[in-house]
Amino acid sequence: MAHVSVVSAAVKRLEGKVAIITGGASGIGAATARLFSEHGAHVVIADIQDDLGLSVCNELKSAVYVHCDVTKEEDVEKCVNVTVSKYGKLDIMLNNAGTCHELKDSIVDNITSEFERVISVNVVGPFLGTKHAARVMIPAKRGCIINTSSIAGCRGTGSPHAYVVSKHGLEGLTKNTAVELGQFGIRVNCVSPYLVATPMLKKYFNLDEEGVRKAYSNLKGSYLVPNDVAEAALFLAGDESNYVSGHSLLLDGGYTITNAGFSPNAGFSPGQSE
């Protein structure tokens, strides 16, 4: 069924903008693709989940799908090239694809290849997305790059080590590229959510919607959904944040200030991409 926009033309905040969303076939990425499209953006969904990605594109009036493994530079470069060839520009790069993989909590039980896989998707992927987005944004003297991080990127948590390390690395990449690319009018930020009921999280922790709700103890009556993260990405992508760069926008309901530390036995990973 076609996706029907409820946003009036008068308030479309991304009218005529072109955006690539990696990991855009499901979860946070799909919610953001829908919201960006509602606000007038041309959206390119880059993912390895072909059927899901094509399904989202079929809902939207102005979206195309490109198969893209973010760990492969040739895929990322091709995705950017296809976008620029079709639309003539790239305004927004949302590096959203991510993984938690099947990691062990104890460092002594961690397998090096699994650790490296998470780093490859969660850090190398955004690095490649930023690199090739910057390649076309620098000559245009404008652009916006957004990375989907996590509250695991701003402190130690009870989450698997590779995931926490990857999100700390992503925060560093965000800040460092914001310093470099600001001279070209390019803003770089990240959005850092707590638990979001995405397919990845539900599968990893074997949680249903109610299980996710129970993970929240500090902001009763409210819990984070993919569209909340999409709204934050919309803010960072739009003109309302034209002087915001190098920033990590926390979406945690105050969790990080009401909990001095995360229990390693809590059984939850605070925040995730895709």
Q: CA dihedral defined by 208, 210, 216, 220, rounded to 10 degrees?
A: 150
Query: For the stretch 67-97, what's the b/e string if a residue is b when 16 or more beta carbons lie within 10 angstroms of its beta carbon?
Result: ebbbbeeebbebbbebbbeebebbbbbbbbb
Task: Tell me the catalytic residues.
Answer: 150, 163, 167
Residue 154 near residue 171, CB atoms below 8 Å: yes
Q: Which helix (H) or strand (E) holds 74?
A: helix 73-87
3-state secondary structure of 191: strand
* Residues 159, 268: Cα–Cα separation, whole Å: 7
Residue 45 near residue 57, CB atoms below 8 Å: yes
- Identity at 99, one-letter amino acid code: T
